[in-house]
Structure 1
């Protein structure tokens, strides 16, 4: 992974991701001071998810017309300009219109909605085929470290320099990210295909997934797991800590932290043993799929706080290994032209699924109790694992000999 372009990609993406966390933390402080309303704060993730869904759905139109590097660099540059507008607005009118702030959030999320699949599709182009597992592991590891440290550091920065200044700090990070994105070099030749109708282009990613058995099956698993993994969002874990473990809010933070530690450990394992993952792709994917189901069910029906921390770490480890394995499999099997469109469709699917499943599992937790939400999640994960085990067409011959 000595490619300078790969370094530019992960450094630029890390700065962009850290900036995304920082500006949201800064906005939480500003919006709460302006509105004193938890409802407006709840709109932040909703608007963010909705913007990414719309963008993910429309992204094939851009992938058809522009090279991935162009999309990544331009997306980050335009995000930087909108963040400049947001920083200026919140500085001039710190008690300004919530609607205008939400508009900026939606726009920045919309721009991210095509940047995310573009960066994931770019990765296998910048490293040797033998290094894809290691590159995915490293990329995921950096992302998780940013997520783990970003929220804590962002909170400290808000307390130290204030929400507006944190947004200005994000502006600086976005500028640096834009520079790194522009420095990347993609040797894959881009050629515009023949003119197609908008309807045909929008359907291409979905059609590729639906009409290719291996992609169809892996996305069935991704869809099921997208529903189930909602139980690990902060809101449901908060209820679990209060009602089941009967512990203080501090334990909510402990569980979130141990979960991210598990993700980091899983990423480190894949980075340390990439050849083992490649040789045993099928076995690793099935084993980790079964493991996440067991860990989720056990966690949901456990009442011992210390054991909950252990299970949270275990879930994070196996979930990360499974995600990296699936990511590598998809990148290996898809063509360079199909991959961005597949990721665009996948991003729209998971964003929509996440939003609807949050309401579903949140409602189940309210009506029947939070443990039933974990029961449903664990059952769905078990179904996904069984589906994976019996999907013989999912793995080509080169993988089934292990």
Structure 2
């Protein structure tokens, strides 16, 4: 592992993970306090989703025009400038909520272009044998940053106000930009060339074509889609209903459940680092075992009425999820050339965003019509199906001679 570029990128991802949580909480709470309207406050994540969708659709046209290193540096820098302008003009902008929402829309669009670029960097600065360790390290630090953000941002807003908290957010973003500048010095360009007869439509389709034609990417994406549907069982509203109806506890247990899951995720990330070499050698087995354990723990969680057992299960789910997730990310990264990753990640992101939006509605409907326990039972079944599908990658690997990469 190249230590300087990796650790500078690790700081980048950690800073951005914390900054993103602070940004979301500051803007959401501010809009709600200003308007006292949950509907208008909900327009913030809606605008973010729309901007990310448009960015995902247009990103191939942008990625093909500019070298990776320029996009890697310029997109976070441009977003940092937009956030700084938001801070400078905060007093003026806050008097016009819709101006704020439009500014948020632009920032979210740039962020939507930036995310696939950042996700694609790891294979460019890390050797294949170190991918699990690298992905695990980023997972641990990002999860820890998010926990800190959710834990302290609300308190900071109450004690210091929106403006100082947003200022800290800007500091974090500029730290990330500085680290990106350091990392960019170690990137070796391997950009894709455009043939003269390629139309814009063909360029926009390329990410989807890679996802469909590459059987490994197709299967991993299908697993991600299924798990994306299942992942909606953990949204706040469903968890709150579960706490009240299944555990017969007060709202404070909602926080206990979330904290337990985050603690488990951190433990899982550390376990992934400890077992990095073993997971790297047995990616498919790691996916399957992680998914099977996650499915089992989710099923028991949905059926239990014992609060302490529910907390312990949340902690246990963390390692299962992290091992599965890191193994899937690594399998995805090693089965496509790095120059194609940004547009493939962009296409996958569009698909997962659409699935997540639909599944949130689906799980809410099932919870209301059948009961909250049915939601977790369905989630466990979907995760189990994903585990079974992961085993089919063994045959894919044998047919495509991926043994050297997947070490089946």
**TM-score by shorter chain over 0.5:** yes
1:129-173 CA distances to partner (integer Å, 9 max, x unpaired)? 221111111111111111111111212211221012211221222
Aligned partners of 1:218 and 1:394 also within 8 Å: no
Partner of 2:244: 242
CA positional deviation for 1:15: 1.6
What is the distance in 2 between the residues matched to 1:139 and 1:308? 27
Partner of 1:166: 165
- Give the secondary structure class of the aligned counterpart of 1:245: coil
Aligned partners of 2:2 and 2:125 also within 8 Å: no
- Cα RMSD after superposing both structures: 1.9
- Give the secondary structure class of the aligned counterpart of 1:92: helix
CA positional deviation for 1:191: 4.8
Aligned partners of 1:55 and 1:348 also within 8 Å: no
Distance 1:160 1:391, change over 3 A: same
378, 381, 386: which one aligns with 2:380: 378
- Answering whether residue 102 of structure 2 is matched by residue 103 of structure 1, we say yes
Partner of 2:114: 115
Aligned partners of 1:69 and 1:181 also within 8 Å: no
Distance 1:28 1:182, change over 3 A: same
Distance 1:92 1:319, change over 3 A: same
Gapped regions of structure 1 (runs ≥ 5) = none
CA positional deviation for 1:361: 1.0
Partner of 1:351: 353
CA positional deviation for 1:236: 1.3
- Answering whether residue 334 of structure 2 is matched by residue 339 of structure 1, we say no
Aligned partners of 2:283 and 2:407 also within 8 Å: no
CA positional deviation for 1:2: 4.3
- Answering whether residue 188 of structure 2 is matched by residue 183 of structure 1, we say no
- TM, length-normalised to structure 1: 0.94
Partner of 1:57: 57
Correspondence list, 1:20-31, <5 A = 20-31=20-31
CA positional deviation for 1:123: 0.8
CA positional deviation for 1:305: 0.8
Aligned partners of 1:30 and 1:164 also within 8 Å: no
Partner of 1:397: 403
Partner of 2:46: 46
- Give the secondary structure class of the aligned counterpart of 2:338: coil
Distance 1:401 1:212, change over 3 A: closer
CA positional deviation for 1:38: 2.1
Stretch of structure 1 that moved more, 143-152 or 188-197:
188-197
CA positional deviation for 1:400: 7.7
Partner of 1:37: 37
1:204-248 CA distances to partner (integer Å, 9 max, x unpaired)? 111011111111111111111111111012221112112211211
Stretch of structure 1 that moved more, 382-391 or 347-356:
382-391
Correspondence list, 1:2-401, <5 A = 2-94=2-94, 96-184=95-183, 185=185, 186-195=187-196, 196-395=198-397, 396-398=402-404
Aligned partners of 1:59 and 1:114 also within 8 Å: yes
1:258-280 CA distances to partner (integer Å, 9 max, x unpaired)? 11111111111111221111122
1:67-123 CA distances to partner (integer Å, 9 max, x unpaired)? 3332222111111222123223432354x2322222222222222222222112111
Q: How many residues align?
A: 401
What is the distance in 2 between the residues matched to 1:272 and 1:55? 37
What is the distance in 1 between the residues matched to 2:91 and 2:244? 38
